[in-house]
Structure 1
Amino acid sequence: MKPIPVTLTCLLALAGCQATPDRLPQAEPAPAAACYFSIGGADTQAVLRQSVAVLTEWGFELDSTDTSLGLISASRQEALHGYYDPYDNAYGYGRGMRVFGGFGIGRGAGAGIGLGFGGGLNQQPVEVERVSVLVGDDDVRISRDLRRYDTQGDMRESYSASSHDFCQRFESALKPGGMPSGRSL
């Protein structure tokens, strides 16, 4: 009988522990029903121009547009003063301070130390809000998400924010004379 190496035994044991996901990834929470609305046969190009006007009025910057597809992508970012990062002290390294990048010892002839000083000084955590608008022949679909980054630039939170309130405000702003002024939710 041939002996089985320990590493192969461990590999086979770990392979049996893997689980497959029970469903495909999806936006959570699901977009509100108000994020899909009819434009009643209006001119698609006019709706695209009005959508760009609404987004820029609300403080968004255009990331990309494709008028042949009827797609507009825009984003805005805001500094989060006093943002509490729930993961900041998760491993006991202290609040907002990363001194050492890491170290490692290799097998054979090799050892290394990585240093990274500074980090987090004079940097603000930010929230990035992204909106995508898809204008079809008879309808408009809106997708919105929020991402929060810590002082190191690491993403800490991300979620779908296609809320009923935002989409309803956007729809009312698209109607003639409905352009609100100032920043919206």
Structure 2
Amino acid sequence: MKPISVTLTCLLALAGCQATPDRLPQAEPAPSATCYFPSSSANTQAVLRQSVAVLTEWGFELDSTDTSLGLVSASREKALHGYYDPYDNAYGYGRGMRMFGGFGIGRGSGIGIGLGFGGGLNHQPIEVERVSLLVGDRDVRISRDLRRYDHSGDLRESYSASNDDFCRRFQAVLQQTSTPAGNAP
């Protein structure tokens, strides 16, 4: 038997171990039911203005808006002081420092040595929180996600954060701002 056919047989055997996904990617965890609620006003533009006011009051910066679609997208960043990166010590280089290097000897004459330190100075791990609102004629939908980046700017964690707590607080503040001061209960 030729060596090429053995290698090809091994590659085909390994390729057969690959599994195809049984479902399409989904937001996990699934968005809370409270992130979809009826609009307190029939005027979509008024709800959009109130939503923007709530988000900017909470420290978000507008990324994009499309009033014809009723879409608002905003984000905010915060430094993560003392953030533990679970992957930082994965290869034995130590926490907070990355060291890349190696050496080699080539054919004939030549030696090469490389050494590098990474991480940079004054780079903090950050968390980016993004919120998107879709305001329809009768309802409001909220989508929120969190992304954490390490000190060198690499994405380390990303997950859907459309949870019950955030959506209830947003809905309560939105309803308070839409109620006129004279009609407040």
State TM-score, norm by structure 1.
0.83
User: In angstroms, what is the RMSD of aligned CA positions?
Assistant: 2.7
User: Which residue does the alignment assign to 1:29?
Assistant: 29
Corresponding residue of 1:183: none
Q: List, as ranges, runs of 4+ consecutive aligned residues in structure 1 with deviation greater than 6 Å.
A: 101-106, 111-114
The yes-or-no answer on 1:20 pairing with 2:20 is: yes
Question: Could you tell me which residue of structure 1 aligns to residue 76 of structure 2?
Answer: 76
Q: 1:99 to 1:140 in 2, by over 3 A?
A: same
Partners in 1 of 2:158 and 2:177 — Cα distance? 34
Shift of 1:100: 1.8
In 1, Cα distance between the equivalents of 2:112 and 2:138? 61
Q: Distance in 2 between matches of 1:37 and 1:74?
A: 19
Q: Does residue 89 in structure 1 map to residue 83 in structure 2?
A: no
Structure 1 residue 3: Cα displacement:
7.4
Partner SS state of residue 46, structure 1: helix
Q: Cα deviations across residues 63-102 of structure 1 (Å, max 9, x unaligned)?
A: 1111111111100000011111111101101112122267
Taking a change above 3 Å as real, the CA distance of residues 139 and 101 of structure 1, as seen in their structure-2 partners, is farther
Partners of 1:46 and 1:101 lie apart in 2 by 58
Q: State the number of aligned residues.
A: 175
Residue of structure 1 in register with 2:182 after alignment: none
User: Matched residues in 2 for 1:25 and 1:161: separation?
Assistant: 16
Deviates more, 1:133-142 or 1:10-19: 10-19
Structure with bigger gyration radius:
2
Which amino acid in 2 is paired with 1:8? L
Counterpart Cα distance in 2 of 1:6 and 1:127: 49
Could you say which residue in structure 1 is the equivalent of 2:57? 57
Corresponding residue for 1:100? 100
| CA distance in 1: counterparts of 2:141 and 2:157, whole angstroms | 24
Q: How many angstroms does 1:115 deviate by? A: 5.6
What is the one-letter code of the residue matched to 2:53? A
* Alignment deviations for residues 160-179 of structure 1 (CA, whole Å, 9 cap, x no partner): 11111111111111124379
Contact 1:80/1:127 (CA < 8 Å) preserved in 2? yes
Instruction: Give the 5 Å matches for 1:140-151.
Output: 140-151=140-151
Q: Using the alignment, how far apart are the partners of 1:140 and 1:27 within structure 2?
A: 18
Instruction: Indicate if the aligned counterparts of 1:31 and 1:143 stay in contact, CA closer than 8 A.
Output: yes
- C-alpha separation between the residues in 2 aligned to 1:78 and 1:152? 15
Are 2:31 and 2:160, in contact at CA under 8 Å, matched by a contact in 1?
Answer: yes
TM-score (normalizing by structure 2):
0.83
Aligned residue type for 1:149: Y
Moved more, 76-85 or 90-99: 90-99
Does the residue aligned with 2:81 lie in a helix, a strand or coil?
coil
- Mapped to 2, the partners of 1:100 and 1:135 lie a distance apart of 49
AA of the residue aligned to 1:123: H
Q: What secondary structure is seen at the aligned counterpart in 1 of 2:55? A: helix
- Structure 2: how far apart are the matches of 1:23 and 1:79? 35
Paired residues of 2:50 and 2:178 also in contact (CA < 8 A): no
Go from structure 1 to structure 2 and tell me whether the alpha carbon gap of 1:48 and 1:11 turns closer, same or farther (over 3 Å shift). same
TM-aligned CA deviation for residue 23 of structure 1: 1.8
Stretches of structure 2 that go unaligned for 5 or more consecutive residues are 180-185
